[in-house]
Each structure stands twice: as C-alpha cells, then as structure tokens.
Structure 1
C-alpha cells in the first residue's frame, strides 16, 4: 500500500511539473503523451487538483493550467528574511527610473525562478517570463550573473543538468563558450543576455549577495535589443549596480576593497 501511495505522489508531481511548462494551458491528451500516465488517471488527478484550487480548467478550450496557489506554496521556500518583500520597493523604483522591465530571480538547481517582474508603462515589452516561472540559467542574463559567481565545477554541474536548446542564433550551446562568457561577465562586472532566449529582447544583470557573501539572487534590466546601445549601457549599468548593492546591503552584505563589485569568482 505504501509503494502505491508513493507512486501516486510521483504521478501527481509529474502532472504538476508538466502543467508548469504550459502556462497558457494544456490538454489531457498532451499530459498523457508527456507523462505516460493513462488518460483516466490523469483525469482523476486533475479533478482533485481543480477541487483543491491548484489547477483551473478552461471550459471553452478543455485545457488545464496551474493557479497562483502553487506559487504561494513555493514562495514559502524563500528564505525567512523574505527577499521579495524586502526588495520590492527598490525594484519598482529601478523600473521607474530606468523606464525598462525589471526582474528578480533566485537559483533553483540548474534554473532560475522569477520572484518579481515589472514592466515600465513607458516601454511595454512582450517578455515571456512570469512570476513563479523558471528558465535554465545558461541562456538568461540572470542565470549567467549567478554562474559567474560559481566555480567551474559548479557551472559544469548546472550545464549537465540543463536541457541545452538553441532558441535563437545567439543561444550558447557549447560549454567552453559559456565559460568564456562567464569570464567576460566577471571582467565587466555584469551579465548580458543578447537575444539568447527571445529574439529582440536583451538584458543586463547583477547579483544580490547576503551577509555571508553568497550570491543568492539576481536582478536584471531588460529592453528591446534595438535600444540596447552604448547610451543604454551608460544610463542603466550604474542603476543596476546601485540597486543590487542597495538590496545586498539590506541583507547585511559589506563589500571589501578586494571585491568592490558584486560579480566575481
């Protein structure tokens, strides 16, 4: 009986993890194909998740998608100092001053999970990221900012646990190329996403460190790549660094003379 219950939990998690990859909704047929679970079992599991408020069914399209109830549970895994509440006002100020889109994300294995996203009303961008969603580190500025603070061994582990795909002509799909990019990130002091996940969208990113000098999160400023010129960098890089330093200071981080920047190995 215990083994059966464990198997049932595995199936529920398989369904929820698959749902997470389809934020706009997914059919039972697709869930069956991707999980290998029988259609009737999928239906019973979905019915329970709907009744508990974790999933909602689109009556017109007969598709299912997750609700924010799952995010509320996941957000409890954020450290006790509540990074999101602590930094929210500072991030909103960065969005207003930069007039661009701003993100905050934390590492989760080989991925980053978005805790905050705000797009300036002056420059409405269509970016696929959503609060509570995730992306692999290697193709995001946020992820590369975090990896630039890691050892080569840690980066290799992340790489080996990632699904390597070429989303755009600029996506890095070679490990040694990634290592070179991270070295450049350390030298310049910020990470760059140059249309590596979405065509037409780029960003710069920096990390947030805690009192123990750990890079626990990353923030980014995103824009259209046609606007990401030298003037953009001159204007926004100081804003990015200042915001990262402000949030890090709230967490007790004190920069040293040896490491005045947040991104370093």
Structure 2
C-alpha cells in the first residue's frame, strides 16, 4: 500500500514541529491557530502527547518532552549518516559561497547545516529546519531525481493545485538533473538566493543528503560553473571525512 498523509498523524507531527520551533513554548490557543483546528481536538492530541512524554507543559506552555530525543538516540538514520560540519565548512571555503546540507523528511526537504558566507534568509531556513517544497528548491529537486519514479510521482501527486506549474517545471528539468547530477533554483524560492545542488550518494546508490551551493544575484550567471565545481569538491573532500560515495 503506498504511503499517504493521514489527518491525525499530520496534526500530531504539526504539533511537535510547531512546539520545536518555539524556544519559549506554545500555548494551546497558539497551537489551535497554527493547526486551524478546533480547540477540543488539539487538546485531545496534546493530552495524549503529554501522557506519552512527547510534550511537557510548564505555565500553560507546551515544550518538547524527552520522547522525541529518546527515539532519535535509539535509531535515527540521519544521525547514522550525519555529516561532519567541517566537511561542509571546507566546501564553503573552497567554493567561496554558502553551502547547505538538506535531507528529505516525508514529502518535504529540511536543511540541517549551513556554512560559508552569511545570508539572513538562508541562515533562517537552515537554523529553523523549516520544511520546504521538494519540487522548487535545488536540494528538493535533487532528492526527487534520486528516488524511484514510482515514489517521485507519489510525492508530486501531493502538490496542491496551485503548485501545478512548479511540478511541470521540475518534470521538464528532470532529464538534465539526472544526467548532470545538478539541480538549480534560480531565485524562485528566495529572490536573493540562487542555488545549485548535487546528491551525496552512498555506494549502494541510496541518497545520503543533498548539498547546495548558494550565491546572491550578483553571481547568478556563474551558477552552472559553480555546480561543476561543487561536484568536484564533494568528490575530493568527501573521502577525507570518511564519506564513502558512489
């Protein structure tokens, strides 16, 4: 049976992600607004998460409990495949631009690390670990191009009707993304950021992460050359940091 969204599961995840992004905690009213759901429904879910240790409540504000951290410590594939920040930093130094690491989380891309030139918008995206669409970001396109066609079309089918144009654009770019192992985002997601991404593939062909190099509009014309330099730098520096790449 193909994976598909489930309303209750989606709401539970949205609660946990909303709480995780707020250092001061989140009230029930704020969660209700964020989820656009009835207060009684949200309260039932938070009560269950409190009971199982996935949330804590202090002064009527919800915070993450120990549950998520226990799961991560037990068997987190991302932790097992975590990239040394020094590897990312060296890529930034070699390329002279911002470098980001992104992984797929469900039907979205999440940026997990950043190094290089500071960019307020890119720094915000990386530090908040916000979910971004797979079919618009360079990293997301890289992920989509490196899953099976069946899985790719399943993920694309989840796009909202108003995103049909972005999906069509990705499909038009797909052959080149696969042949060059490069995907581009030319100021579409963030108007001040132009990015190119390449995949980190394990020896068995499975995707570890997408590595993006980003520049501002002044260097946008050099994006194709930057992409080729990115591939070479990843291939050169990866093994030095214990990465066994395809």
Same fold (TM over 0.5): yes
Please give the root-mean-square deviation of Cα atoms over the aligned residues, in Å. 3.9
Matched-pair contact (CA < 8 Å) for 2:28–2:39: no
For 2:188, which of 189, 196, 206 is the aligned residue? 196
Offset at residue 31 of structure 1 (A):
2.1
Residue in 2 aligned with 1:36? 38
Matching of residues 240-255 of structure 1 within 5 Å: 240-245=230-235, 246-247=237-238, 250-254=242-246
Offset at residue 12 of structure 1 (A):
9.2
Residue in 1 aligned with 2:88? 91
Q: Number of aligned residue pairs: give it.
A: 231
Q: 1:239 to 1:157 in 2, by over 3 A?
A: same
Cα distance in 2 for partners of 1:74, 1:196 equals: 33
Offset at residue 76 of structure 1 (A):
5.7
Residue in 2 aligned with 1:143? 140
> 5+ residue gaps in structure 1?
1-9, 167-171, 255-265
Matched-pair contact (CA < 8 Å) for 2:202–2:244: yes
Cα distance in 2 for partners of 1:79, 1:44 equals: 27
Matched-pair contact (CA < 8 Å) for 1:211–1:251: no
Residue in 1 aligned with 2:125? 129
Matched-pair contact (CA < 8 Å) for 1:201–1:224: yes
Matched-pair contact (CA < 8 Å) for 1:145–1:191: yes
Offset at residue 101 of structure 1 (A):
2.0
Offset at residue 20 of structure 1 (A):
2.1
Q: 1:189 to 1:47 in 2, by over 3 A?
A: closer
Q: 1:233 to 1:155 in 2, by over 3 A?
A: same
Q: 1:158 to 1:13 in 2, by over 3 A?
A: closer
Q: What is the TM-score with the length of structure 2 in the denominator?
A: 0.71
Offset at residue 156 of structure 1 (A):
1.0
Structure with the bigger percentage of helix: 2
Matched-pair contact (CA < 8 Å) for 1:113–1:133: yes
Q: 1:191 to 1:37 in 2, by over 3 A?
A: same
Offset at residue 54 of structure 1 (A):
5.2
CA displacement, residues 123-155 of structure 1 (integer Å, 9 cap, x when unaligned) = 434224135432221111111012222343322
Matched-pair contact (CA < 8 Å) for 2:31–2:42: no
Q: What is the TM-score with the length of structure 1 in the denominator?
A: 0.67
Cα distance in 1 for partners of 2:14, 2:172 equals: 32
Residue in 1 aligned with 2:77? 79
Residue in 1 aligned with 2:100? 103
